[in-house]
Amino acid sequence: MLNGSDNNILVTGGAGFLGSHICEALVNKGEQVTCMDNFSTGNIENILHLKNLKEFSLKTQDVEKEIFLTSDLIFNMACPASPIAYQKNPISTFQTAVIGAMNVLQLALRNKARVFQASTSEVYGDAKVHPQPEDYWGNVNPIGIRACYDEGKRCAETLFFDYKKQHSVDIRIGRIFNTYGPRMQINDGRVVSNFIVQALNNDPITIYGSGEQTRSFCYVDDLVEGILKFTYQEKEFGPVNIGNPKEITVLELADIICVLTGSRSKIQFKSLPQDDPVRRKPDISKIMDLIQWQPKVSLEDGLKETISYFKNSMK
């Protein structure tokens, strides 16, 4: 049934930034979608436009609790992803990443369902290999302030592979790199949202470190297309990198946002946080060869859409 429509699909963390876009794309495909969220970081406004559709239903539940649903396909998007959110309660973050993964895998096992795990570029840590290919094991501080998320996601990948090896669960693992777009939280502490809010308010734009550290930013529509195409294909279970390989310095990003917003903001430099990666760029040759996917939306066009969203949200 996976290649057709009318699948029963569960999206955990479905009211979050990425999760809500996954729900929307699946509904548009004609799938029957259950959004599950405990609203610790998700936002009901992200899914209000879907709530009354016959293809959509909402279940308020924490992924740390056992899940009793009938599903053909599961997208496990549940976990705080911004440093501010996941460092607020590191034990809960780790439990969400690991116990949540166990619960969706148990559900997949019972239902003989396929399950996509939203992993992250953070599994590479402060990478010593650049760009980062999937066979790089990473450079992660296991006891640092980011470890609850980094190591939680690494542990979740281990669980997914063990369920595949021991129980033949049909898994897909995507390592998601920096993503931006409408429905990002205004106060989530990520660099794109921080810069946009500061620029729109003409406040100083806060850059940590010299600003020469790099990131690669993928617009959310491109990312969702990559996730869905990868999840529905039959040849590869992953992990695969999903992101935009166009690398840019944080300082360049600030300059672009200032120009697009017409901001009068000045740059303010602060010290770099512990374990913050210096360079981040995905090697996406694996997913390009597999499903002929690559990002299409330019950074400037994606930022214009995101800035417009933030302007409306801040009224």
Q: Which residues of 28-48 are buried (b: 16+ CB within 10 A; e: fewer)?
A: ebebbbbbbbbebbbeeebbe
Closest CA to 132 of 143, 145, 120: 120
Q: What does the radius of gyration of the chain's CA atoms come to, in whole angstroms?
A: 19
Number of residues that make up the chain: 315
Q: How many angstroms separate the CA atoms of 285 and 274, rounded?
A: 30
Contact 123, 175 (CB under 8 A): yes
Spatial neighbors of 312 by CB under 8 A, at least 6 apart, are none
pLDDT reported for residue 83: 80
Distances (CA, A) of 280 to 67, 128, 212, 272: 35, 10, 12, 15
Asked if 291 and 229 touch (Cβ cutoff 8 Å), the reply is yes
Asked if 73 and 11 touch (Cβ cutoff 8 Å), the reply is no
Query: Which of 86, 124, 136, 149 is flagged as catalytic?
Result: 149
> What confidence tens digit (pLDDT) does each residue in 146-179 have?
999 999 999 999 999 999 999 999 999 999 999 9
Q: Where are the domains of the chain?
A: 8-181+217-245+279-296
Residue of 224, 225, 104, 117 lying closest to 171 (CA atoms): 117
75 φ/ψ angles, rounded to the nearest 5 degrees: -110, 110
Is 180 among the catalytic positions?
A: no
Architecture of domain 8-181+217-245+279-296: 3-Layer(aba) Sandwich (3.40)
The confidence score (pLDDT) of residue 85 equals 80
- Provide the sign of the torsion angle of the four alpha carbons 239, 160, 121, 41, taken in this order: positive
- Give the Cα separation of 90 and 151 in Å (integer): 11
For 71-128, the pLDDT digits (tens) are: 999 999 999 887 878 888 899 999 999 999 999 999 999 999 999 999 999 999 999 9
Give, for all 315 residues of the chain, the pLDDT tens digit. 566 556 899 999 999 999 999 999 999 999 999 999 999 999 999 999 999 999 999 999 999 999 999 999 999 999 988 787 888 889 999 999 999 999 999 999 999 999 999 999 999 999 999 999 999 999 999 999 999 999 999 999 999 999 999 999 999 999 999 999 999 998 888 899 999 999 999 999 999 988 999 999 999 999 999 999 999 999 999 999 999 999 999 999 999 999 999 999 999 998 877 777 889 999 999 999 999 999 999 999 999 999 999 999 887
**Predicted pLDDT at 2:** 65
pLDDT computed for residue 3 by the predictor: 62
Q: How far apart are the C-alpha atoms of 180 and 17, rounded to whole Å?
A: 9
Q: Which residues contact 181 (CB under 8 A, 6 or more apart)?
A: 17, 21, 219, 220, 221, 302, 305, 306, 309
